[in-house]
Structure 1
Amino acid sequence: MRAFLVLALICLTIGCKKDNTTENITEYNWVLKAQVISPAITINGKTSTNYLSLQNPEWCSKNFTYVFYESGLFQFSSNGSLCDMIPNSKLQNWKRDGDQITLDYGNAGSTIVILKVNGNSLIHTSEFTTNGEKYTLVSTYLAVKSK
């Protein structure tokens, strides 16, 4: 019986090994891969819960990326036409507490964004109202190893 308990403890220790692939978020670029909106929304005559599928391929949101620096600063960017209009500043700070990352854009009104770390993903949940309808948008950013 005792040998079984020791073996079980060893198996649990090995089997529950923590996935450290995204422990240091500064080693990755975090690229937007999915946006799910609830309830479904209609844009330009098309209705879907896949928010990215409703957007023009040239829109910047299809290429959103977060980069986190060891210094505690972060950058939010995109590529494509007019995407250089996304402002970044040296006042943009991030901090991590467990599975939560808090982003402070450092602008007037102090825009704060909360991201949740979930394995190799960052999840951002936001809400907005359009034409009297309240929507919840869940954006998923995947870790891509920095070069």
Structure 2
Amino acid sequence: MYSRVFAGMLGILLAMMFMGIALADKENASTTDSIASPQIAITAANFVAPSPEKEHLNEEWVEITNLGTSEINLTGWTLSDAQNHTYTFPGFSLAAGAKVFVRTGKGDDDIENLFWNRSNSVWNNNGDLAVLKDPEGNTISMYPEEGKGA
């Protein structure tokens, strides 16, 4: 009788040990994946266009940088301010190590500049919050970092 109980408990302990190893391996894999994945960040912003603002809207911009080692497709990502004015990225990919400026005013998109094509300003002159989200709505980056004042 005791040998059956002992064998049963030994079996349970071995199963728990193997599950613990499997879970640890899974945790390590996800940590490695997040480290190896490309990083996109808002690295700078200019919320104040020279006066009169309506004539200098392209001087309002947010700089987004690919800090990773591979190209990232930003199609469907969004950039918004604290009042939920939202820019949706068109079909656009950002090369590894490259940056792009999202400008409030009008212009033709290229690999260094994307234009919101607005006729009035977006960003508050006394400071604002720029929020970059992926197509699933996950916040990827904020500027200033973590919503701290400008």
What TM-score results when the alignment is normalised by the length of structure 1? 0.35
Q: Which has the higher contact order (CA 8 A, sep 6+)?
A: 1
Larger Rg: 2
Q: Which has the higher strand share?
A: 1
Q: Which has the higher helix share?
A: 2
